Amino acid sequence: MNSNIDRISNLPSSLLIIIASFLPFKEAARTSVLSKQWLNIWRDAMHIQFNETFFVKSDEPEENRKVQREVFINFARQFIANYSQQVIKTLGLACSKPGDFLSDIQNILMFASSRDVRELGLDFSDPTWREQALENHQAAFELPLPVYEHGQVLRSLKLFSCSFKVSNFSNFCSLKTLSLGWIKINMGSISAILDSCPLLENLSLKKCWDIENFEISKPGSRLKSLVLEKCDIAYDGVLIEGPKASVLQVLRKRG
């Protein structure tokens, strides 16, 4: 038998899509060069990552980066316009200048919601921001209504430099993992989120500020993992009470 026969490329497209879905989005896109059969398979991947760092070079002048960012947004625009699958599992979006592309970002999030996305990651922080001045960086984007309206299916949510309405977190009743970063948040809001998300098991706060003290006291909490990374907490102490407090993993990382 000829060992050089490409048996994988001869599989049905439905199976190739499944194979591509196990790859990181950038690697899935690279499969387009393997053969004619793979050319457009990655365009139906169910794990989608729109990350401007794939397009924008941080060491180039701002004028160049602006053009590169426009190319990035145009890529995302064309991708969702031609996407044929009815469901996606993961969508990540990283864009440091969301104010320049509000309508496009709204469309991307409406696309994710319409496909019942299970894991949603939004990062609107700027790589040039300094961690020593957290409070100088207000949220660059506000979570839109369609995300809340379809929040029942979300299992994982990441919001960096993205403000939100705590009162709407009651729609995230299936949420198990939540990561918040580069935002102003107080302990009252954190407690309200825990009350609204009864299935929450993993909570991560990175580069957050305005936290007077950190105290969790919730009898029915399922929280198993807590990460506090480079947060500005007024009082140096963490108090956790609850049925799973003895097995809860708490990781505090300082700058």
Q: What share of the chain is helix, strand, coil (3-state, %, to 5)?
A: 35, 20, 40
**pLDDT grade for 118, boundaries at 50, 70 and 90:** very high
CATH 3.80.10 corresponds to the domain 59-206: yes
pTM of the entire predicted model: 0.80
pLDDT, tens digit, for every residue of 19-59? 555 555 555 555 444 445 544 444 557 788 888 988 888 88
The yes-or-no verdict on residue 153 having pLDDT over 90 is yes
pLDDT, tens digit, for every residue of 59-76? 888 899 899 999 888 888
pLDDT, tens digit, for every residue of 231-250? 887 766 666 665 555 445 55
* Contact between 184 and 164 (Cβ < 8 Å): no
pLDDT, the chain, mean? 80
Q: Give the alpha-carbon dihedral of 113, 88, 180, 125, to 10 degrees.
A: -90
What's the rounded Cα separation, in Å, for the pair 221 and 64?
48
**Domain residue ranges in the chain:** 1-45, 59-206
CA nearest neighbour of 52 among 100, 115, 107, 87 = 100
pLDDT, tens digit, for every residue of 169-209? 999 999 999 999 999 999 999 999 999 999 999 999 999 99
For residue 140, the SS3 value is: coil
What percent of the chain shows pLDDT beyond 70?
A: 73
**pLDDT grade for 211, boundaries at 50, 70 and 90:** confident
Could you please report the per-residue DSSP string of 150-166?
Answer: TGGG-SEEEEESEE--G
What's the rounded Cα separation, in Å, for the pair 48 and 97?
20
